[in-house]
Chains A and B, each alone.
Chain A
Amino acid sequence: MSSFDYPTYPYRPAPEQLGETAPTSPVIVIGAGPVGLTIAIDLGQRGIPVILLDDDDTVSHGSRAICWSKRTLEIVDRLRLAEPLVERGINWRVGRVFRNDREVYRFDLLPEAGHKLPAFINLQQYHVEQALIEATPETVDLRFRHKVVAICQDADRVELTVETPDGRYTTKARYVVAADGAHSTTRAALGLSFEGRVFDERFLIADVKMKADFPTERWFWFDPPFHRGGSTLLHRQADDIWRIDFQLGPDADPQSERRPDRVLPRLKAMLGPKAEFDLEWVSIYTFRCRRMRRFRHGRIFFAGDSAHQVSPFGARGGNGGIQDVDNLAWKLAAVLGGQASDRLLDSYDDERVPATDENILNSTRSTDFITPKTATSRAFRDAVLSLAEDAPFARALVNSGRLSTPHSYADSPLSTPDSDAFTGGPPPGAPCPDAPITGPDGVSAWLLNQLGGDFALLVFEADPVDTDLRQVRIGGTGGWTDPEGLAAGRYDLRPGTCYLIRPDQHVAARWRYADGATVRRALHRARAAEHSTIETAPMEAR
């Protein structure tokens, strides 16, 4: 049924199976989905050897994630891998919501210019995974058909039992990232569970290949004439493939509903009797909004679907997972490289648990709006929709999915709270906004690309600060220029303003003026250094 040519990646026995004694690896990542691949590449690019184990020999089966957010693209761009994805993907930012056959609400996710990356691209998960697999650096030992079947840890290391076509072997690592998906073997092996809600509502996904002239927008219908009583989503993917998602209700039979004789009439009712299309993929799903209580368990870190699940409305699953590992990779690298102590790794929970709660909150609210559980809840939903057409206030209440936005680590122990006055710009914990800048030689660049993947200082119209950190200076002699004033506006820059930026491009601290000692204090805090070592043991990123 699928027009996608699934690659097959060969199984190869591991050195451990050939009788070689393998040293304890710094990091083993379990699961080569989008999340596991991203952290393996991030660590690998930082020069850390990684073993990446996957139980399969190809990319994601069938149709799953399609929408990748600007923040995800910025993370992948930090790894210098975003451009081919953006080129291949469908770039979109406008969503329309219809009730019956009339538009009730429209949103624009990136109404301003001056950002390198688009608000969203749509690209099939298998394309994303394939691109990431092809981009894994030499430092990543990617092993297909190596399935983790048992896992245990002591104070110093984690031991994994891995099953392959040639039998089992064991291997050890200092740290393990469990990116092994919703049915995580690791989670089960540790006897850990999820907390949250499971929804009964069933949805039908039909991906179809067709030439159609719908605009490149997200279209969502409540109670459309072609699918009375339910909702429907239409979204474009690469290669002339369209995602169509029908709400079926809690009583739908998952076996019969996926049969072509049930699916095709639904599609014809929607697309018209003359529409020509091929079915690419059909599946029925229900969903959950839940997470593990904590994501760090000793030397094992859960990331992506293994740690949390959300409903697809809002595209927060894969995007949230990639933000998990964006947060974790630099911390693991700092600990393994000796620039920080193991304490830094506790901040993964401090930062990603609230981020997950924000994703779950948004995704639960959307789900409750789309699938009201009681007559009263339905009455309010219908009241909102019926008012929305001529009462603008009600449009803000229409919720067909609040699309993934990056979390700001507001209460992070790694952040130094503001002591100077700012009226705008990203506060400590927030992700850095992008802006176009120009080099002394007139060459155009993007601010986020200049910030890079290590600690850096952003300094505005001032001399370099006395520190070994990389400095991105805007204005002043030898600095970048800010031709449209967008950097100055987005960061609330004034002469002397200085931001300390983390390796994941979130703000650690900012000042109206900073000297080397001030920056060093904030840097220690951002690396979770013990208080007593702050003044005595300066460690600089290199």
Chain B
Amino acid sequence: MVTLNLAPNIPDPDGFYERLIEAHRGLSDADSALLNARLILLLANQIGDRAILDAALEKAASLPIER
């Protein structure tokens, strides 16, 4: 079993978060969905490890859906 790294690992978290939101500014929901999908695919390829990807999918899906 791989363990996902859930400890802080992104330098300048506020800066990254801002960049992420900024990338979506002015986009329709459909365009945002496309952007997100591209991002996920690029990052998944960068990770390139099925065990880590599966663990991330599982973690993301396991949290309750709340809005």
- Residues on A lying within 8 angstroms of B by beta carbon are 375-376, 379-380, 382-384, 386-387, 391, 393-394, 397
Report whether B37 and A380 are in contact in the complex, using a CB–CB cutoff of 8 Å: yes
Report whether B30 and A387 are in contact in the complex, using a CB–CB cutoff of 8 Å: no
Q: In the complex, what residues of A have CB within 8 A of residue B30's CB?
A: 375, 379
Q: In the complex, what residues of B have CB within 8 A of residue A391's CB?
A: 42, 45
Report whether A386 and B34 are in contact in the complex, using a CB–CB cutoff of 8 Å: yes
Report whether B41 and A397 are in contact in the complex, using a CB–CB cutoff of 8 Å: yes
Report whether B34 and A387 are in contact in the complex, using a CB–CB cutoff of 8 Å: no
Which chain B residue lies CB-closest to A386? B38
Q: In the complex, what residues of B have CB within 8 A of residue A386's CB?
A: 34, 38
A103 to B48, CA, bound (A): 25
Q: A375-B33, A379-B36, A394-B41 are in contact. List 11 more A-B contacts (CB 8 A).
A: A376-B33, A379-B33, A379-B34, A380-B37, A383-B38, A383-B40, A383-B41, A384-B41, A387-B38, A393-B45, A397-B41
| Distance from B62 Cβ to chain A, minimum over Cβ atoms (Å) | 18
Q: In the complex, what residues of A have CB within 8 A of residue B45's CB?
A: 391, 393-394
Report whether B41 and A382 are in contact in the complex, using a CB–CB cutoff of 8 Å: no
Which chain A residue lies CB-closest to B46? A393
Q: In the complex, what residues of B have CB within 8 A of residue A383's CB?
A: 34, 37-38, 40-41
A379 to B41, CA, bound (A): 11
A379 to B45, CA, bound (A): 17
Which chain A residue lies CB-closest to B33? A379
| Distance from A382 Cβ to chain B, minimum over Cβ atoms (Å) | 6
Q: DSSP majority for the A interface?
A: helix
Q: In the complex, which residues 22-51 of chain B have their Cβ closer than 8 Å to any Cβ of chain A?
A: 30, 33-34, 36-38, 40-42, 45
Q: In the complex, what residues of A have CB within 8 A of residue B37's CB?
A: 376, 379-380, 382-383
Which chain B residue lies CB-closest to A383? B37
A391 to B45, CA, bound (A): 10
A380, A383, A391, A397, most chain B CB atoms within 10 A: A383
Q: In the complex, what residues of A have CB within 8 A of residue B42's CB?
A: 387, 391
| Distance from B44 Cβ to chain A, minimum over Cβ atoms (Å) | 9
A386 to B35, CA, bound (A): 10
Which chain A residue lies CB-closest to B29? A375
Q: In the complex, what residues of A have CB within 8 A of residue B33's CB?
A: 375-376, 379
A397 to B42, CA, bound (A): 12
Assuming the contacts A375-B30, A379-B30, asked whether A387 and B41 have C-beta atoms less than 8 A apart, the reply is yes
Which chain A residue lies CB-closest to B45? A393
A376, A379, A380, most chain B CB atoms within 10 A: A379
Which chain A residue lies CB-closest to B37? A383
| Distance from A483 Cβ to chain B, minimum over Cβ atoms (Å) | 40
Q: Can you list 28 A-B contacts (CB < 8 A)?
A: A375-B30, A375-B33, A376-B33, A376-B37, A379-B30, A379-B34, A379-B36, A379-B37, A380-B37, A380-B40, A382-B34, A382-B37, A383-B37, A383-B38, A383-B40, A383-B41, A384-B41, A386-B34, A386-B38, A387-B38, A387-B41, A387-B42, A391-B42, A391-B45, A393-B45, A394-B41, A394-B45, A397-B41
A393 to B40, CA, bound (A): 13
Q: In the complex, what residues of A have CB within 8 A of residue B40's CB?
A: 380, 383
The 6 closest A-B pairs by CB, nearest first: A383-B37, A379-B33, A383-B38, A393-B45, A379-B37, A380-B37
A380 to B35, CA, bound (A): 9
A460 to B43, CA, bound (A): 48
| Distance from A221 Cβ to chain B, minimum over Cβ atoms (Å) | 19
